Amino acid sequence: MKITGAKVIVTCPGRNFVTLKIETDQGLYGIGDATLNGRELSVASYLTDHVIPVLIGRDASRIEDIWQYLYRGAYWRRGPVTMSAIAAVDTALWDIKGKAAGMPVYQLLGGASRDGVLVYGHANGNDIEHTVDEVGRYIELGYKAIRAQSGIPGVKGAYGVAKGTMYYEPADSALPSETVWNTSSYLNFAPKLFDKLREVHGYDVELLHDVHHRLTPIEAGRLGRDLEPYRLFWMEDCTPAENQEAFRLVRQHTTTPLAVGEIFNSIHDCRTLIQEQLIDYIRTTVVHAGGITHLKQIAALAALYQVRTGSHGATDLSPACMGAALNFDLWVPNFGIQEYMRHTEETDAVFPHAYTFDDGYLHPGNEPGIGVDIDEALAAKYPYDPKQLPVARLTDGAMWNW
Ligand code: CS2
Ligand code: MG
């Protein structure tokens, strides 16, 4: 089966998405998500200018060989742009292979290891009371696991709080908006939030929290210890993870489970974290960590150290990524949980998909391939709209981690 053509589709049904579509001489095509929030056009160019020319004429069935060709052949290995481009090719080729076999990708991987994929939704509010109500709303929607984020008194633009009732969309302006961060306000506030959440909603619902890279390791250790009475499912991105060894300090101070990895793009970003069991969940994704082929390797390493998967699934990862991720999640033996931030109706219309939500679980469906398509005509109605992620500064004006 020869690759006869490929195209990059950039569309903005409420937010920007980049999708690679690969066509073959047997009339089958596959799609892959290539969206990198705030840097979409970098990946679009990488694919159009440097990848598609070397794909034409290759055998679409040789997924591993093409992965190795694009990874080793880049010379300048790894990085979010390169690995998102490779991921899009990989996902599209798995999609094609599933369609050729007449099977959903999870069957090609080894079949279902579970009946459904446990997901967590995002509840957020301007203050504790509003956040408690929002968690209650997600419980009524059937979620068994819910991430809770709240506005913090005195902190402008605390992470994770949606404007109005719309879905939380961080990339909110063509040039980065500026937010302010105050660690001591946050460290005093967060335990009060979860104390109230447990008082009102009890301990049956799984609660998660995203620190979003804001703390130093010792501060993260302190927060993890202060949150232990509230039995979080995980505390995410508690400190920047470029220095994987920093998590040794966090681990010494708390038993609160740790999750990291949504911004990782290869197994090397998490090797120490996994091998030293410094984390409990690895958040790497199909779209940013080299596709299904590389995510399988990361999950296999993680399984040796009893680390479970917890893939990122924010609105800036398209339904094409979600479809591929759910096929992976249904199969992967050491599955933990899947993030599920619902897309807008316009997005779902551009990306018709087979996955369904029921009582706190998603299922990829049994369509051949990844179970997601793209309506090119509809996608063309939503032109690219330049947006960037915010930045964060400390109260003294110094740059910090958004
Ligand atoms: C967040 C993301 O969902 C999460 O865990 O960290 O919303 C993240 O802020 C965005 O994906 C950045 O584009
Ligand atoms: Mg996160």
User: Are 157 and 218 found together in one domain?
Assistant: yes
The residue out of 48, 70, 104 marking a domain boundary is 104
What tens digit of pLDDT does each residue of 85-97 get? Answer: 999 999 999 999 9
Answer whether residue 124 shows pLDDT above 70.
yes
Which DSSP letter does residue 342 get? P
User: Are 210 and 259 found together in one domain?
Assistant: yes
C-beta neighbour count of 209 within 10 angstroms: 26
Report whether residue 37 contacts ligand 1, using a CB cutoff of 6 Å.
yes
**166 falls in which pLDDT band (50, 70, 90)?**
low
153 CA from centroid of ligand 2 (Å): 21
Report whether residue 318 contacts ligand 1, using a CB cutoff of 6 Å.
no
Average pLDDT over residues 325-345: 98
Average pLDDT over residues 102-110: 98
Which positions are catalytic?
A: 159, 212
Report whether residue 316 contacts ligand 1, using a CB cutoff of 6 Å.
yes
CATH of the domain at 312: 3.20.20.120
**Atom 3 in ligand 1: which residue has the minimum CA distance?**
314
How many domains does one find in the chain?
A: 2
- Residue 401 domain-assigned (yes or no): no
User: Are 360 and 320 found together in one domain?
Assistant: yes
User: Are 215 and 69 found together in one domain?
Assistant: no
Q: Beta strand 206-210 with 234-236: parallel, antiparallel or unpaired?
A: parallel
275 CA from centroid of ligand 2 (Å): 22
User: Are 91 and 115 found together in one domain?
Assistant: no
Answer whether residue 145 shows pLDDT above 60.
yes
Report whether residue 389 contacts ligand 1, using a CB cutoff of 6 Å.
yes
- Residue 392 domain-assigned (yes or no): no
- Residue 146 domain-assigned (yes or no): yes
How far is the C-alpha of 355 from the C-alpha of 18, rounded, in Å? 20
- Residue 248 domain-assigned (yes or no): yes
Which DSSP letter does residue 244 get? T
- pTM of structure: 0.98
CATH of the domain at 95: 3.30.390.10
What tens digit of pLDDT does each residue of 21-45 get? Answer: 999 999 999 999 999 999 999 999 9
User: Are 33 and 155 found together in one domain?
Assistant: no
Q: What is the pLDDT of residue 154?
A: 83
**Atom 10 in ligand 1: which residue has the minimum CA distance?**
314
Taking the mean position of all CA atoms in its chain, how far away is CA 360? 18
**367 falls in which pLDDT band (50, 70, 90)?**
very high
Atom of ligand 1 nearest to the CA of 283: 5
User: Are 41 and 152 found together in one domain?
Assistant: no
314 CA from centroid of ligand 1 (Å): 6
Ramachandran angles phi, psi of 345, nearest 5°: -60, -35
- Residue 29 domain-assigned (yes or no): yes
Helices (H), 242-396: 246-253, 271-275, 291-304, 319-331, 345-350, 376-379
- Residue 162 domain-assigned (yes or no): yes
User: Are 159 and 304 found together in one domain?
Assistant: yes
User: Are 257 and 118 found together in one domain?
Assistant: yes
The residue out of 47, 69, 104 marking a domain boundary is 104
Ligand in nearest proximity to the CA of 168: 1
- Residue 384 domain-assigned (yes or no): no
Q: For residue 207, which of 144, 142, 124, 280 has the smallest C-alpha distance?
A: 144
132 CA from centroid of ligand 1 (Å): 21
- Residue 381 domain-assigned (yes or no): no
How far is the C-alpha of 239 from the C-alpha of 114, rounded, in Å? 32
Average pLDDT over residues 324-337: 99
User: Are 50 and 95 found together in one domain?
Assistant: yes
Q: What is the pLDDT of residue 163?
A: 78
**381 falls in which pLDDT band (50, 70, 90)?**
very high
Q: What is the pLDDT of residue 164?
A: 67
Residues with CB under 5 A from ligand 2 (ion): 210, 262
User: Are 119 and 237 found together in one domain?
Assistant: yes
Report whether residue 339 contacts ligand 1, using a CB cutoff of 6 Å.
yes
Q: What is the pLDDT of residue 155?
A: 86
User: Are 131 and 227 found together in one domain?
Assistant: yes
Pull the structure tokens for residue 284.
């790497």
Answer whether residue 165 shows pLDDT above 70.
no
**Atom 9 in ligand 1: which residue has the minimum CA distance?**
170
The residue out of 86, 104, 122 marking a domain boundary is 104
**Atom 11 in ligand 1: which residue has the minimum CA distance?**
314
Ligand in nearest proximity to the CA of 179: 1
Structural domain including 306 reads 108-367
**Atom 13 in ligand 1: which residue has the minimum CA distance?**
37
Report whether residue 212 contacts ligand 1, using a CB cutoff of 6 Å.
yes
